[in-house]
Chains A and B, each alone.
Chain A
Amino acid sequence: MTIALQCDRISKVFYEKDETKATGTPLSYRRLFRRERVPVYAVRETSFTVEKGEIFGILGPNGSGKSTLIRIIATLLYPDEGTVTVFGNDVVKQQLEVRRMINRVSVEAAFFKKLSAIENLNYAARLYGVNTKIARQRSLEILQRLGFKEQKAFVSLENLSRGMQQKVAIARALFTAPVLLLLDEPTTGLDPKSKRDVQDFVKEVQEKHDATIILTTHDMAEAERLCDRVAIIDDGRFVALDTPAGLKRKLQSPQNPAPTMDDVFFALTGKDLADELPDLED
């Protein structure tokens, strides 16, 4: 078995300005230049290994560190501690090698909004050294596969809906044939049909192209459907890591003989339905 991704005790802390702690008068030196900073522990001592060809899911509440983890693997953030290797290449020391192997779809569509999908894809093709004709052909195939109308590829992206933009982002990430694909909430904001199309396509990429995929999602059914293994992250820490079936089995009890992924999520992240909907409590 080849190891595609190895994360070894990685941690990441951000420092956020804390306006509430600001002291001194509004124009004092302290207030202007020495704002208090509070640490935000985004990822804490997380270790895991992903094998080649696996779809590895990361689930967790908002702000639990999923995107931070993805950014570290994507060479966009340096971990404060620990090491990450992609097919044996260190993400900090061998950035360029890692970048050749990966691609990422982020939650927010990262495009030049005034340009058309095709123009954005051309830009990507030139950066990744793919012939622009081949890139266009491959991405149009992918777009068609995702139910995207071809004529929409030639109008500026600001005129496309979020879901359509997301599909372009997926095509852009995939025509470069990455061996490690990082999908940060790829189906958020898609209608049920588009969601299904994207999910089918992700499965197909795994099977046909032998790609390894890291996927974050808020959709429990999606995780269950796609992922070979799922990690639940809460407050920067993995609180569980198993196959979807394994996670559910652990929660089985006489009171709940057939737990769902939702049950697993709530049980492990301590986010009870009551916490999620505090208004209903009283």
Chain B
Amino acid sequence: MHKLLYELKATMAFVERHFNLAKRYLGWEIVDLVYILVNGLTIVLIGVGGGPQQMLYLAAGALLWEFLSVLFHEVSESVSWERWEGTIEYTFMAPIRRATHLFGMCFYAVIYGSIRTIFVLGGMALFFKFDLSQANLFGALVVLFCSSISFIGLGFMAAVLPLMSPEKGSQATHIFQAIVLLVSGVYYEVSVLPAWLQPFSVISPATYTLRAARAALLDGASLADIWPDLRILLLIGILLIPLGLKVFSIGERYAMKTGKLKRNG
């Protein structure tokens, strides 16, 4: 119990560190927020011809993708970023469990991603005056929570790549993220994808996230209605988190054997 509390407190190291950094890069944070807001608005404007439902459909895609990609990016890039800063050995030498380290990154990513998403949501609501009286907002939040778990698991697995290959690992995580964007039906139905790409959409947790969140937001679907998708998301998450931690620890051991933890090479 005492040990658990100790580890839980240690996760705050990562949250605090990142908020301190965000403070230093405040100018960039603001630029970034403006950019993602304008980007979101532009995407929703594409759907003006299709009426409010079409616009809401696109808005849901833009918001969810914003949240999920921040989550994935923050977690998966944490290793390559610390290598670049030169703090990686210091962080890895700390007397905490690796899971604590990684969950600390996730806490931060969830808070940070939520702030950004709420900001864009607020901006869109002001701009388009969406009618959300029919929407099941609570249901959409539950979807977001369930999908966070699986994206965190994916993030752990992707974070290992820069650990194993300092030069190419980070590139690989970006490609992975792009493929998820392509196959998950962020801005269109997955049915429009070429047949050979469709199987990928079945294994991407983002597909279920978007489908369930849209059902809740656009059609006011109840939790019972979206339960089949939620169940899949939870299942993927419950499988991916321990798998991600395992993969990461294997990667870490490999890095410590081959001397890849060092900043240069």
Contact = CB atoms under 8 A, between A and B. Distances in A.
Contact of A76 (B20, B86, B93): B93
A108 interface: yes
A122 B16 contact: yes
Contacts of B265: 16
A225 interface: no
Q: Is the interface of B mostly helix, strand, loop or mixed?
A: helix
A14 B87 contact: no
Contact of B90 (A96, A100, A110, A122): A110
A65 to B, nearest CB: 12
A15 B85 contact: no
Nearest to B87: A110
B254 to A, nearest CB: 10
Contacts of A100: 95
B142 interface: no
Given A99-B95, A156-B24, A123 B261 contact: no
B31 interface: no
A115 B17 contact: yes
Contacts of A77: 256-257, 259, 261
Contacts of B70: none
Contacts of A102: 93
B135 to A, nearest CB: 39
Say which size band chain B's interface belongs to. Answer: 20 to 34
Contacts of B261: 76-77
B90 A99 contact: no
B89 interface: yes
B87 A111 contact: yes
Given A129-B6, A129-B9, A14 B24 contact: no
A102 B92 CA distance: 13
Interface in B51-96: 85-96
Contact of B85 (A71, A113, A129): A113
Contacts of A115: 17, 20-21, 24
Given A110-B90, A123-B13, A156-B24, A14 B95 contact: no
A76 B87 contact: no
A105 to B, nearest CB: 10
14 contacts: A76-B256, A77-B259, A99-B95, A102-B93, A104-B93, A108-B86, A110-B88, A110-B90, A112-B20, A114-B21, A119-B17, A119-B20, A123-B17, A126-B13
Closest 7 CB pairs between A and B? Answer: A126-B13, A127-B94, A99-B95, A100-B95, A110-B90, A114-B24, A119-B20
